[in-house]
């Protein structure tokens, strides 16, 4: 699969961000670019790396609806003696 690259010029990148000395807490540093890929007709395509930016998502996306995107695995089973 080919990946299209649309990179920022090096003088516009944030390469001089402060780096943590020991650990990197989640969400503290952002990259200058992000990877995008489209899902259409049962397959993935149009892979690309683009400058970091906001993106839109449908309000009907299942990821926004807890019951459709998360399975916690909590189940109850009835034993042979009728106990749950």
Residue 82 lies in a domain: no
Per DSSP, 7 falls in state P
Q: How many domains does the chain have?
A: 1
Answer yes or no: are the C-beta atoms of 28 and 17 closer than 8 Å: no
Residue 62 lies in a domain: yes
Q: pLDDT grade, residue 26 (50/70/90)?
A: confident
Can you give the pLDDT at residue 13? 77
Q: pLDDT grade, residue 44 (50/70/90)?
A: very high
Can you give the pLDDT at residue 50? 92
Residue 54 lies in a domain: yes
Answer yes or no: are the C-beta atoms of 50 and 6 closer than 8 Å: yes
Taking the whole predicted model, whether its pTM rises above 0.85 is answered as: no
Residue 77 lies in a domain: no
Domain span holding position 56: 4-69
Residue 65 has pLDDT above 90, yes or no: no
Q: State the average pLDDT for the chain.
A: 81
């Amino acid at each position: 699969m080919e990946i299209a690259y649309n990179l920022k010029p090096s003088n516009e990148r944030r390469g001089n961000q402060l780096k943590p000395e020991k650990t990197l807490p989640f969400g503290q540093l952002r990259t200058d670019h992000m990877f995008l890929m489209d899902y259409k007709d049962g397959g993935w395509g149009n892979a690309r790396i683009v400058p970091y930016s906001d993106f839109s998502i449908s309000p009907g996306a299942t990821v926004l609806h807890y019951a459709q995107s998360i399975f916690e695995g909590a189940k109850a089973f009835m034993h042979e003696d009728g106990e749950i």
